[in-house]
Every structure is written in C-alpha cells, then in structure tokens.
Structure 1
C-alpha cells in the first residue's frame, strides 16, 4: 500500500491548501526538510507560512507545477513572483526528468529583451511588492537594467522603445509628439515615461535612479522626473510617505550635483520641507544646495517667514546658513562678480529685516559681516539699514549700538553718508567720531599718494571759479558740530578733547591744500610744460567748493 501524507499548508493566513506531501517534496527541498522521514503508512501534518512570496495565488502556481510533472506557464506577468517562490521553496535542487523550476525561470528571464514596455512595468510592479526578498534572485536587477536601457535608447532617438506596447500610455504619448518640433515638444518627447513610473514606491524609484546614474543617464532628465514624481505623489500621500519621498528626492538631487536642478525648484523643495519633520541631514543638504548658488537668488527668495513658534518676521537664522554655505564654497576662488551680487543681496535683505523689533543686535551684525569686507565697494546701504534699525530699536544702549556699528566700514562711506552720520542723533557719538576720523585719514592718504596732477588748458580759471563758489560743510565743521552735541560728563570731556585735536589736524590738512594750490598757480604763471595736453585739472581734494 502506498504511503500517503496529507499536508495542510496555511499560506500567510490567506488560504489553506490540502496537498499530497509526496508530490510537493519531490520538487521542494523545503517541504522535504519539514516532513523529514515518513512516520507510517498514513499521517497528517500542517505547515504554516507567514511570509510566502506572492501569497496564496502564487502558492497555487507552485502546487500546479508539482502536480503537473514540473510544467507551468511562465510569462512576464508571473515571472517575478514564481522566481521568489521557487527559491523560497528551495526548488533548485531536484530534477524529475525535466528542468527544475529555478532553471526554468532563469531561462524565461533571458527573453526579457523581447518583452513589451507594459510587460516590463508589470514585472517591476510585482518586484516592488516582493521587496526586499526579490533583490536576492537577480530578477529585479535584470528588469531595472532592461528598463533603463529602453529609456536611454528612447531619449537618444527621441522616440519610444521599439518593443513598446500600443496600449502603453508612454508609447502613445511619445509617438504622438515625436513628429512635432520646438523646445516644448522636445521636452515632452524626453519625458514620455514620467507618468508610467509614478506608480512605483520610493524604494523602487531610488533603485531605478541609481541604475540610471550608473549608465550615465542625463542628470537633467533625472531631476525633472524626480520633481514630477514628487508633485504627482504628494496630493494623495500620507505625511510619512511625503517625508520618505522628500528625503529620497533631496538625497538624489544632492548626489547628482546642484547644477542639475533649477534654483527655483530648490526653493520650492525648501518651502515644502519646512512643513515636514524631515531629518536634519536632509535639511542641511537642501540648505547647502541653495547656499552654494546664492548669487542666483532674489530678495523674494530670502524673505522666508519665521517658524510659527518664534516672533521674528523672517527666518534670519536660515538666511545666515545660506551665507555660510556660500562662503564655504571658497569666496577667494570665485569671480568677484558673484561675490558682489551676493553683497548687494545682503544689503537689500538688511533693509527688509531692519524694522523687525525682535531682531537682536548681534544677529543683525552677523548679517552685516556675512561676507568679507572686500565684497562691498560702498557701505552706504549698510549705513541706511543701521539707521533704520536704530530708529526701530530706540531702546538700545550706547554699548549695544557700538557693537552693531563695528560692522560698518567708515572708509567706504560716501561724503554724503558721513555728513548725515555726523548729524544723526540715533547713532552713538563714538561712531560719528570714527566716521570723521576715517574720512580724514583717507583724505590724508590721498594727498600723500597723489602727485600734482597735470593741469587743464585753463587751470587758473578753475581755481578762481572754485574759490568763488559757496563752501560746503567740511570735515572741520562736522567735527565742531559733534563737539556741540556732547554734554559735560567725564567721558564726553575726553571725547571733546579728542575732537578738538582732530579739529586742529583738519585745519593743518586744509592749510597744506592751500599751500599746494598757491604752488600750482606759480607753476602755471612761470610756464608749466605741456599743460595744454593735460587730461585732468586741479585735484578736487585741493580746491574749495
């Protein structure tokens, strides 16, 4: 009498199968190990699988293979699931007059190059549901390789894959547009596959992108696809899924390089990420990508609202990070034009945030000092921003105001700004002194470094005309005004004495200018050579206005 072993198989709690253990054990090494040696003519056993690949429907295919003497229909629509199940059931060890199941699926996989586009997508969809187990059997790798080859070939020829199925959305979209011209249609031809891949989860998309990068796929196309994927998936995704998508997109864009994606798109990603609890590492990568290209930003880009839990109008801390990343790219090596663009952007930003009543002095100073001093040709905009800041923050002490004024390079102030500062009661007195003294030193250096310039055709006329004009407020008069503003405290007495010393030095400087003018007049009267060919007149510094 033949032995009969009744085997009850519970597949993932979905369905229970009653099978003959002898039949399954002749093809499955796993079943054979579970049953062990026969215990009698008839016995009953039960097996429970909690993680059977593909579930109950796939186990039914395996059972059919065993009951059908090792034959089963293997096609692109079930190849991925059968492969996983075959290795799960250890069906690579037994041969019963024909190839074992693992050998059959490997042979079928060699025909992947003849699959249609839609069959390839279905197979990848199955692989997605079988992750991560499917990664061990080579099926996923071959499907990804075939997919990327098709896409690369499609982008090179600006048409759809030759083996695409007519029922594929990508096929219709590509072929409908390939005969048209223009940049917009070229973009559509290169992106016909975007919609087909949107259904895949983030893990599979990440694998696809890595495969694209390994094959030197166009980085611009990858970036456009990732942004399309993010926009398509976000409306229906949960917050956890949104975070996973965001982090995957940022990590991939960061690995591809910042120039692969538009600057506008980076700020779009940033604004979305500010509403999510993404990892600090991911957030830092967004900020560094933006900061490294800060010369492409506009003022509107930087006017980011402060987080809800804070009182500031704008997120100054985030903007300071942008400047930090920009400087970190190596300002000493970059073109000066880039640096000056960012300096102009800093000055505009200072004027916008200065009225914020919650902005601390040291934070405002950090903004002023965000770039090296040589990035600015003039500090007038910084002065006007400080003037606005002091007007709003009227409660600051003299010491706090002086701390902020340390960021102001007085030598880069125009005479008009210095004149305004000398009368500005919102600024500390020491700041006015520093400004006037810096202007005095700058004037003295100009006198020392400048030789008598060649005269114009009529230098005497120029001198006489300059003397007739009404003289504007000189540095000497500005110092006198500063002295009058000081009260009688001990500290101000010292300042008054210092200002009076400056007053005498300015008078000496003006006396030197006057003597130089007299010498020039004498030189002209005695016949200054080649004065008719001179390109410039009397130095402006030495003439009265």
Structure 2
C-alpha cells in the first residue's frame, strides 16, 4: 500500500511519526472522529496523543498493522500491548471482512489458559506497564486466573522455557536437563523469584487472586516476606516505605495464624527507620501483638526511638503488644498461648530490670499487664524484682511497696518464700507475709488426694498383709493413709508415694522451725510502724 506522509503524530512527547492520514484513519475510529471535526487545510496535520498505551512502541505496532493490510503477528510478547493500543485507537468499529485488531487480539487471548508458564510471565510483564488500561479489564483477570491456577495445580505446570529464544525465565538454558527442571518444580517456592519483578500495584492484584483461589496462606505469607527482602536490596528509602506499607496491607488479608512472627519483627525493625504514617505502624503492631506468643525475648529487646534514647529498651511498645494480645482472648487455645506469653514476659522483665532509668511505674506495669491466672508461678517476677531493687536502691518505702504488691505470694515456691523473708532489699513486713504464706503452704500440703492426715502422737500404718500397727511420736510430722481398695500390685507404688510425702513434710517442718527465730530477728531489726503493719497483708496478699 502506497501513501503519502501527510500526518504528524506526537506520541506522549517521546517520538514523532510521519504517516499517511488515510491509511491510519481507515483502521482507527478515533482518528476518523478527529478528522471529521477538522475544517480548512487538510495538509500538514498534527495530532498529539497523551497517555498512549506503550508509548512510541505501541504506536509503531499500530502503524505496522495499518500499513500491512491490517495484518500483524500476534505473540505473548506483544498481544497485551496491541490490545490496549487498539482499544485506545478505537480499532473495533471496522465492519470490513478482515477482523479488526481488537477482535484479533481478543481471539488470541482466548487461548491464554494453554500458555506456558514463561509465556504467562511475559504477558504479566506487559500488563505491569499497561495496568492503567487493564485494571478493570476481564483480560487481566483471565491472565491472573491462569497464572495462579498453575501455582494451585503445580503438577500441570509447563516447563519454564518455550521454543522462543526470548524466554523470560532466562535462568533456564537449553543445557539444563529435564531432571533439573523437575527438581526445580518440586520445590514449593519455585515461583518466588519469577514474580519478584512485579511492581506493588500488580503484586496486590496477584495476591488477591491467590487468596480468591485459596492458595495456602502460609505460602503467600512466605512469598510476601521474600518479595520485600529482595526488593529492598535496590530500593530507595521512598520505595522501601511504599513496599513496607503494601506488605502490611497484604498481610492483613491473610489468616493471622499463618504469619511468621519473626518476619513481622524483621519488617518492624526496618519500618522504624522509614517515615511511615501512624496508621501503618498501628497495623503492624496489631499483627505482632496477635502473634506475641510466637516471639522470642530477643525480638522484644527493641531499642527506644531517638526521642527516648535515655532508656535501654522500648518498654511502652511491649506494653502495647501485651494489650493487643489480650484482645485475642476469645480465640481457641488462648489460655495455652497466654501462659506462653507470661513465660516470655518473665524473661523480658529480667532483661530490662537492670536498666537504672526504668521507672517503678513501668516495672509494675510490665509485671501486672497479664491477668493472675496467666502464671502458675511468680518466682520469675520475684527474681526480676530482686534485681530491680538492687539496682534502684534509692527508692522510697512507698515505691518499694507498690513494686512488691505485684507479687502473688500464694504462687511463690517455698524456697522463694524463704529467700524473700530474709531479703533485706525488700521493704520491712514482706518477711511476715512470706512466712505466713509458707505456713499456709505447709498446711495445704498435708491434705493429699489420698486423704493424708497428720497426727502428733502416733501413726497407723498398714503392712502388706493388711494388719495395722501403731508407732509412737518421734517428734516429727507423721502421715496416715486411710486404707484404700487398691490392687496388690499397686501397694508398692502407694508405699513409695507415702514415703515421699513423709520426707516432704519433714523438710517443710524443718524450714518452718528455722524460720521462726529468723522471723523474730527480722522483726527486731526492722520494726514496723502501725500503719505499715496494718497495710501489708491487704496490699500484698
């Protein structure tokens, strides 16, 4: 087809094309409408396009189609660009025998479910640059549906390379054996690196499609973390902020139980150096708080922000994490998870206790943030408290009392109660409460599930033949077990348990006897005021 060059086309300010007005107008409804409105001179016309799909490359493909008698080779490497450019130029209004370009590209895209993995990646890269034109298009939906479908059914995934020399997954060459390709696809994360090229806008579309097709949430989460780490290697600070915000939004779409707590803390450390909005910071803290039972003490040892450099660690952050975790109280296995958090917090409190700048109010807040039933033992809290009082020796009596009231004496072991009663770092009067609790423990241990009873004068024992004998008092606490209907083979086990209880009672009695004179000495050396004596048992139960 021979024509004259009477039309100047400026494409997005990138390049200027000199073409035949009639040839292009015969295929483009957009140009026909434009020229029908023009009056006067018909020579030296100039058209300026803004936002042309694909820029100069896209217009060049359109011009070739028009000059080649409305024919062009359509491949996975150009089909999306041709489709968008044809739609832009309104090349779907021609009623000639030869199908218009929009119809040809749509027919080709009809076979997208038979494309190889490499062809799908090539198409995805095109769509990334054309997302503005394809965002609401059924064509993009079909591409994502086919791509994610391969991940959900990996057994039917095509080999990574096609016959084309421009295979997008260039890491596979013709020299790689089929066994190597099979081994590659046997890995559950084989596709991670292939999708790292996605920009944040298209990545969100891909992730949403993965969720809609019910791809495993833990796999999606692993890919999101992988993507973030890979893209951070070459990203600018501004891009890092955008990537981090996008990652946080995507993680909120997943099941919280599948999200790695370690990965969340990695993102959190990075985000502290970025200028993220408070909204995203709160979202990230919510994610971490809900998974606090999966954290380690090293994860929690976060340095404070620049404005609070005088503290060793950011205690307020951990208090927020605990509060957010308690909001999960209706979830399954919450009590088990709560005990995990309590053990973690005991370790954390022991780490921050030596901080000389840690205020008593913050220490108490950490020790009391979780409900009482979260801990079976308060020995860890006592040890951290002992360390805190050693470092903060200048605290007033009232401040020490407020700290000590975080203890639950009934959940302290006998050894810890004994140590507390003799610990001069604690305020006076705690020794009395400790000894009272120790005596209560001794009494409660005298009631066993086997109905053990104590006698001051004698003990009735059972021999193997079932006869009873009486043993005179030897000055110790003795234990009597009522006769039980137990099989003969369990008598030896019962006797062993009885002896164990007797030894335990003897040991506790010795501790109690030793504590009495020590208590007197303590009371003499640290006299209590009337007000303090009255308050202690109530404040420190």
Q: TM-score, normalised by structure 2?
A: 0.79
- Would the alpha carbon gap of residues 400 and 174 (structure 1) be closer, same or farther in structure 2, given more than 3 Å must change? farther
> Unaligned stretches of 5+ in structure 2?
462-469, 478-505
- Would the alpha carbon gap of residues 376 and 260 (structure 1) be closer, same or farther in structure 2, given more than 3 Å must change? closer
1:8 aligned counterpart, secondary structure: strand
1:252 aligns to what? 250
1:256 aligned counterpart, secondary structure: coil
Q: Counterparts of 1:284-299 in structure 2 under 5 Å? A: 284-299=282-297
* 1:55 and 2:55 are equivalent in the alignment: yes
- Would the alpha carbon gap of residues 463 and 441 (structure 1) be closer, same or farther in structure 2, given more than 3 Å must change? closer
Q: Counterparts of 1:129-208 in structure 2 under 5 Å? A: 129-154=129-154, 157=155, 160-161=157-158, 164-165=161-162, 167=167, 168-169=169-170, 175-177=178-180, 189-208=187-206
- Would the alpha carbon gap of residues 58 and 460 (structure 1) be closer, same or farther in structure 2, given more than 3 Å must change? same
- Would the alpha carbon gap of residues 236 and 404 (structure 1) be closer, same or farther in structure 2, given more than 3 Å must change? same
* 1:486 and 2:483 are equivalent in the alignment: no
User: For this pair of structures, how many residues does the alignment match?
Assistant: 487
2:303 aligned counterpart, secondary structure: coil
1:429 aligned counterpart, secondary structure: coil
Q: Counterparts of 1:140-539 in structure 2 under 5 Å? A: 140-154=140-154, 157=155, 160-161=157-158, 164-165=161-162, 167=167, 168-169=169-170, 175-177=178-180, 189-310=187-308, 311-330=310-329, 334=333, 336-429=335-428, 431-436=430-435, 452-453=453-454, 455=459, 457=461, 460-463=472-475, 472-474=513-515, 478=519, 481-486=522-527, 492-495=529-532
> Unaligned stretches of 5+ in structure 1?
503-545
CA–CA distance in 2 between the matches of 1:208 and 1:44? 46
1:395-454 per-residue CA deviation (whole Å, 9 max, x = no partner) reads: 222222222222112232344434443443332335445545555677788899999447
Aligned 8 A contact 1:109 1:139 in 2: yes
Aligned 8 A contact 2:446 2:454 in 1: no
2:18 aligned counterpart, secondary structure: strand
Q: For residue 174 of structure 1, report the CA deviation from its aligned partner.
A: 9.9
Point out the structure with the larger helix share.
1
CA–CA distance in 2 between the matches of 1:354 and 1:406? 16
Query: Once structures 1 and 2 are overlaid, which stretch shifts more, 24-33 or 357-366?
Result: 24-33
Aligned 8 A contact 1:422 1:432 in 2: yes
- Would the alpha carbon gap of residues 45 and 417 (structure 1) be closer, same or farther in structure 2, given more than 3 Å must change? same
2:472 aligned counterpart, secondary structure: helix
CA RMSD in angstroms comes to 3.6
- Would the alpha carbon gap of residues 377 and 260 (structure 1) be closer, same or farther in structure 2, given more than 3 Å must change? closer
2:498 aligns to what? none
Aligned 8 A contact 1:174 1:192 in 2: no
CA–CA distance in 1 between the matches of 2:307 and 2:276? 18
- Would the alpha carbon gap of residues 476 and 377 (structure 1) be closer, same or farther in structure 2, given more than 3 Å must change? farther
